[in-house]
Amino acid sequence: MEYQERPDGSNVTAAGWALVVLGLLAAIFSGSAESLGGWVFALGVANLGIGLGVLLLSLGYLVRAIWFLPGREIPKEAHPGPLQQSSYCEWCNRDMTPYRPCSTVRDEENRLRAPRLRDEACIAQFRARGLAENLEE
């Protein structure tokens, strides 16, 4: 059985380290600011960089800790994506996007759909399967 790739938090952790370094550099250079406005700006950048960096670091390590616990393997089939959900109708051999193909729907639902059909190929398929008794010829 094929499994989904488990996230290891490395992207978030790398961004966190980069922000911490940026914040520390801003804190170091805040001492060389020539005006009060420059000093406040450097201190704000330092505070933001270190704060967001630590937050991203903790999230990255948290993702790594949770997803690498035993028994967290999730099969790929368990979560079908939008590309895996087929909109191909086996009855008329056409792609029915954005609609649900009739071949994947129960007969009761198809009987409810039958009066709204306008496509001749679909009407013919419904008649061949006995799902369109109330359609006019």
pLDDT digit of tens for each residue in the chain (137 aa)?
455 555 667 778 888 889 899 999 888 888 787 888 888 888 898 999 999 999 988 888 887 777 666 666 655 554 444 444 567 888 888 887 777 888 888 888 888 888 888 888 888 888 888 887 766 55
Which amino acid would we find at residue 33? Answer: A
Does 37 fall in a domain? yes
Q: How many domains does the chain have?
A: 2
| Same domain membership, residue 66 and residue 24 | yes
State how far the Cα of 49 lies from the Cα of 24, in Å rounded to an integer: 8
Q: Is residue 4 part of a domain?
A: no
89 DSSP β-pair partners: 94
Same-domain status, 31 and 63: yes
Whether 15 and 65 share a structural domain: yes
**Alpha carbon distance 20, 71 (integer Å):** 33
pLDDT for 131:
81
Structural domain of 98: 88-128
- Residue 15 and residue 48 in one domain: yes
Q: Indicate whether 53 belongs to any domain.
A: yes
- Confirm if 102 and 122 have CB atoms less than 8 A apart: yes
Q: Do 14 and 67 share a domain, yes or no? A: yes
| Cα–Cα distance for residue pair 57/65, rounded to 1 Å | 12
Domain assignment present for 106: yes
Q: 21 and 61 share a domain? A: yes
Is 133 domain-assigned?
no
